[in-house]
Structure 1
Amino acid sequence: MNFFTRHVRPEWALVMVTALWGASFILLSISLKGLSPALLVALRFIGGALVMALILRSRLLNLRKEDWIAGFSAGSCIFLGYFLQTVGLQTISSSISAFLTALYVPFVPLFQLILFRKRPGLIVSCGILTAFLGMILIMDPSRISFSGNFGEWITIASACFCALEILVLSHFANKCDPMLFCFTQLSTVAMWSTLYCLTFEDIRFAPTGATFICLAILIGMIAFNQFAMSWAQKSVSATRAVLIYTLEPVFAGLIGWLVGEHMGWNTLAGGALVVLSILVSSWLPGYLKSRKRLNPSEAS
Structure 2
Amino acid sequence: MDQNKLSGIGSNTRLKADFMMLVVTMIWGSSYLFMKMGLDSFQGFNLIALRFGIAFILAGALFYKRLIHINTKTCFYGFLLGSILFFIMSVITIGLKFTSISNAGFLFSLSVVFVPLLLAIFFRKRPEKRVVFGVVVSITGIALLTLNNELTINSGDFLIILGALFYAIFIIVTDRLTKNVDSITLGILQLGFAGAWGLLFSLFFEKPHLPNTTESWFAILALSILCSAIGFIGQAYAQKYTTPTHTGLIFSLEPVFAALIAFIFVAETLPFKGYVGAMLILIGVLTAEINFKKPIIRKRFNQAVKGSEA
TM-score by length of 1: 0.86
- Correspondences of 1:139-218 after superposition (within 5 Å): 139-146=146-153, 149-201=154-206, 203=208, 207-218=212-223
What is the match of residue 9 of structure 2? none
Shift of 1:214: 2.8
Query: 2:201, 2:298 → 1: CA distance?
Result: 55
Q: 1:238 aligns with which of 244, 252, 256?
A: 244
Query: 2:33, 2:94 → 1: CA distance?
Result: 21
Shift of 1:44: 0.7
What is the match of residue 6 of structure 2? none
Query: 2:95, 2:32 → 1: CA distance?
Result: 18
Distance change in 2, residues 1:206/1:78 (3 Å): closer
- Residue range with higher mean Cα deviation, 221-230 or 30-39: 30-39
What is the match of residue 109 of structure 1? 116
What is the match of residue 282 of structure 1? 289
Superposed CA RMSD: 2.6
Q: May I ask how many residue pairs the two structures share in their alignment?
A: 287
What letter matches 1:252 in structure 2?
A: A
Q: Give CA deviations for 1:98-134 in whole Å, capped at 9, x if unaligned.
A: 3332221111111112222222211112111211111
What is the match of residue 262 of structure 1? 269
Shift of 1:85: 2.6
Distance change in 2, residues 1:198/1:269 (3 Å): same
Q: Give CA deviations for 1:12-54 in whole Å, capped at 9, x if unaligned.
A: 1011001101122222222332222321111010001101210
Query: 1:17, 1:292 → 2: CA distance?
Result: 29
Shift of 1:95: 3.9
Distance change in 2, residues 1:202/1:137 (3 Å): farther
Q: 1:55 aligns with which of 54, 62, 67?
A: 62
The alignment status of 1:14 with 2:21, answered yes or no, reads yes
8 Å contact 2:81–2:174 — kept in the other structure? Answer: yes
Q: 2:132 aligns with which of 117, 122, 125?
A: 125
What is the match of residue 36 of structure 2? 29
- Residue range with higher mean Cα deviation, 73-82 or 279-288: 279-288
Q: Give CA deviations for 1:67-121 in whole Å, capped at 9, x if unaligned.
A: 1222122222211112123344454444433333222111111111222222221
Query: 2:16, 2:293 → 1: CA distance?
Result: 16
Is there any run of 5+ residues in structure 2 with no aligned partner, and where? Answer: 1-12, 302-310
- Residue range with higher mean Cα deviation, 10-19 or 252-261: 252-261
8 Å contact 2:131–2:287 — kept in the other structure? Answer: no
What letter matches 1:120 in structure 2?
A: P
Distance change in 2, residues 1:37/1:240 (3 Å): same
8 Å contact 2:103–2:147 — kept in the other structure? Answer: no
State the secondary structure of the residue aligned to 2:290. Answer: helix
Q: Give CA deviations for 1:225-251 in whole Å, capped at 9, x if unaligned.
A: 111111111111000110001110000
Distance change in 2, residues 1:209/1:293 (3 Å): closer
Query: 1:255, 1:106 → 2: CA distance?
Result: 25
* % identical aligned pairs: 28
Query: 1:258, 1:154 → 2: CA distance?
Result: 29
What is the match of residue 305 of structure 2? none
TM-score by length of 2: 0.84
Query: 1:46, 1:205 → 2: CA distance?
Result: 12
The alignment status of 1:84 with 2:91, answered yes or no, reads yes
State the secondary structure of the residue aligned to 2:291. Answer: helix
Shift of 1:154: 3.5
Shift of 1:213: 2.5
Distance change in 2, residues 1:291/1:113 (3 Å): farther
Q: 1:223 aligns with which of 209, 229, 232?
A: 229
Query: 1:181, 1:44 → 2: CA distance?
Result: 17
8 Å contact 2:111–2:167 — kept in the other structure? Answer: yes
